[in-house]
């Protein structure tokens, strides 16, 4: 096999434009409105399981806000997270995985919530459960629920297949049901990775001058695994 031109490790950056909404259309519309124009609700809390697209939306909203000239920052929380000293000088703050914050960081986020409200800033937060179910300070839990609270719904397999077929059609080729089923069972299941695989499949098809089939997809995924690309490929 020729050296593949596509590097699966280089996934496209998450934006609101490349987020596939599924059942999250209302949330996506509201985030676009507030991030781009600054109008609408100023507090959002997003919750959902890993792979639901929650982090994609938060990162995408910050990217859109920065593009619109807003002083925005995205923070992925860990148990060692210390919120930056200049946080209160930001116009838009997105804090993901809030359930991981230690007591000191929870106080810092509590203060940021108050400051954002006084300054009419934009506060975006994300966690693995609704605010009331988080094991955090009660006063912080209350503030996380000040605005709009959305569950981010992961795409179903049917929705993922529809999205892949639509993306393939936009690229000028037909993605068969058998190829869709193969990708959904053998490739990483989050949409960012699936779309990256689809792009690689398109490029490999053009390079090899072969149609997109299960056999071609199998070769590509096996090559990606052999190159230790970081993808978790099944058999």
Strand 92-96 relative to strand 72-76, pairing: parallel
**How far is the C-alpha of 100 from the C-alpha of 125, rounded, in Å?**
12
One domain for residues 143 and 74? yes
One domain for residues 116 and 99? yes
Does residue 208 belong to any structural domain of this protein?
yes
pLDDT at 85 (0 to 100): 85
**How far is the C-alpha of 159 from the C-alpha of 209, rounded, in Å?**
29
Does residue 137 belong to any structural domain of this protein?
yes
One domain for residues 116 and 177? no
Beta-strand runs (E) in the chain: 43-47, 72-76, 92-96, 122-127, 148-151
- Crossing angle for the helix pair 157-171 and 177-186, to the nearest 10 degrees: 120
pLDDT at 190 (0 to 100): 85
- Please say whether the beta carbons of 168 and 212 come within 8 A: yes
Does residue 16 belong to any structural domain of this protein?
no
**How far is the C-alpha of 103 from the C-alpha of 94, rounded, in Å?**
18
pLDDT at 10 (0 to 100): 62
pLDDT at 5 (0 to 100): 43
**How far is the C-alpha of 115 from the C-alpha of 2, rounded, in Å?**
56
Cα 109 to its chain centre, rounded Å, is 22
Does residue 116 belong to any structural domain of this protein?
yes
**How far is the C-alpha of 198 from the C-alpha of 13, rounded, in Å?**
16
pTM over 0.95: no
Looking at the 3D structure of the chain, how many domains does it have? 2
pLDDT < 50 positions in the chain = 1-5, 229-235
Which range marks the domain in which residue 186 is found? 157-226
Does residue 187 belong to any structural domain of this protein?
yes
CA distances, 150 to each of 45, 61, 87, 120, 202 (Å): 6, 15, 24, 21, 35
């Amino acid at each position: 096999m020729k050296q593949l031109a596509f590097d699966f490790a280089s996934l496209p950056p998450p934006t609101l434009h490349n987020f596939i909404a599924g059942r999250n259309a209302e949330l996506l519309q509201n985030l676009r409105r507030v991030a781009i124009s600054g109008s609408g609700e100023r507090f959002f809390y997003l919750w959902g399981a890993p792979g639901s697209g929650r982090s994609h939306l938060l990162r995408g909203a910050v990217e859109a806000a920065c593009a619109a000239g807003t002083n925005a920052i995205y923070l992925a929380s860990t148990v060692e997270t210390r919120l930056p000293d200049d946080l209160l000088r930001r116009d838009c703050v997105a804090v993901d995985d809030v359930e991981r914050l230690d007591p000191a960081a929870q106080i810092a986020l509590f203060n940021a919530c108050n400051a954002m409200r006084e300054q009419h800033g934009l506060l975006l937060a994300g966690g693995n459960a609704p605010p009331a179910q988080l094991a955090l300070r009660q006063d912080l839990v209350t503030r996380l629920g000040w605005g709009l609270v959305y569950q981010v719904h992961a795409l179903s397999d049917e929705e993922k297949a529809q999205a892949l077929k639509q993306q393939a059609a936009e690229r000028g080729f037909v993605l068969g049901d058998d190829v869709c089923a193969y990708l959904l069972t053998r490739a990483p299941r989050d949409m960012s990775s699936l779309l990256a695989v689809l792009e690689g499949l398109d490029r490999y098809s053009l390079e090899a001058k072969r149609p997109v089939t299960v056999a071609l997809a199998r070769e590509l995924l096996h090559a990606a695994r052999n190159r230790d690309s970081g993808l978790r490929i099944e058999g």
